[in-house]
Copies of this chain bind each other. A is one copy, B any other.
């Protein structure tokens, strides 16, 4: 509420993130974090409901940061592939320093009933924001009506998958992820372009109804 409380929260978060980077998530205890922020253990829990929530706070932080530059960066090019690339790279760049840390979130990752999952109702605002970037990226690209409604969500899902892959990618400089992005992006863009061809109609309709059925 007050700036004082905000500052304390920040102090804890910064102490935590530094420790996480230095020692790793599992190796850092909440007692360490509280001590580094010069307070009692319990105080940290006054500001963060759990240890994992500290990581989530980083995620929130970067979501806010994206808002300041990503929309403009997407508009900069008219080429769909480049636009998608910009969105995807933004994540990797923002999280680069904390890649190993994100494994802590990945543990939760898939469970939609966990408040910190990208699929949880609690994270819906951030999710919607992420989906919207893809929606605007598709602006100006010819996309058949029946898949247009859910294509942004599908691309967002694809991006979540990429992040998971990246988190566990131990190849030097995460080269494998780079190759994966290069390759899949090319294929995806090509498929989107092909999807307007009449020949592809039946297959496209099948995909469309599949997505509808599965989303309920």
A interface residues with partner B (beta carbon < 8 Å)? 103, 106-113, 164, 167-168, 171, 176, 179-180, 183-184, 186-187, 190, 203, 206-207, 209-210, 213-214, 216
**Considering the chains assembled together, what is the distance between the CA atoms of A216 and B186 in angstroms?**
19
**Which residues of the partner chain B approach A186 to less than 8 Å between Cβ atoms?**
206
Given contacts A176-B214, A214-B176, contact A164 B206 (CB under 8 A): no
Chain B residue at smallest Cβ distance from A112: B168
Across the interface, name the chain B residue whose C-beta is closest to A180: B214
A183 in complex: contacting residue of B103, B112, B180, B214, CB < 8 Å: B214
Top 3 A-B pairs ranked by shortest CB distance?
A183-B210, A179-B213, A180-B214
Name the B residues within 8 Å of A213 (CB-CB).
179, 183
Output the nearest chain B residue to A215 by Cβ-Cβ distance.
B176
A167 CB to nearest chain B CB (Å):
8
Closest Cβ of chain B: how far from A29's Cβ, in Å? 20
- If over half of A's interface residues share one DSSP class (helix, strand or loop), that class is named, otherwise mixed; here it is helix
Instruction: Count copies of this chain in the complex.
Output: 2
Assuming the A-B contacts A107-B107, A176-B216, are A184 and B210 also in contact, with contact meaning beta carbons closer than 8 angstroms in the complex? yes
Once the chains are docked, how many angstroms separate the CA of A214 from the CA of B203?
A: 27
- Cα A203 to Cα B112 in complex, Å, equals 35
Question: Using Cβ atoms and an 8 Å threshold, which residues of chain B touch A206?
Answer: 183, 186-187
Determine the chain B residues whose CB is within 8 A of the CB of A107 once the complex forms.
107-108, 111
The 19 sampled A-B contact pairs (Cβ below 8 Å) are A103-B111, A106-B110, A106-B111, A107-B111, A109-B110, A110-B167, A110-B168, A111-B168, A112-B168, A113-B168, A171-B216, A176-B214, A176-B216, A179-B210, A179-B214, A183-B210, A183-B213, A186-B206, A187-B203
> Once bound together, how far apart are the Cα atoms of A171 and B29, in whole Å?
38
Query: Shortest beta-carbon distance, A37 to chain B, in Å?
Result: 28
Docked pose: A109 CA to B107 CA in angstroms: 8
Docked pose: A207 CA to B191 CA in angstroms: 12
Q: A186 to B209, alpha carbons, bound, how many Å?
A: 12
- A108: B residues at CB distance < 8 A: 107
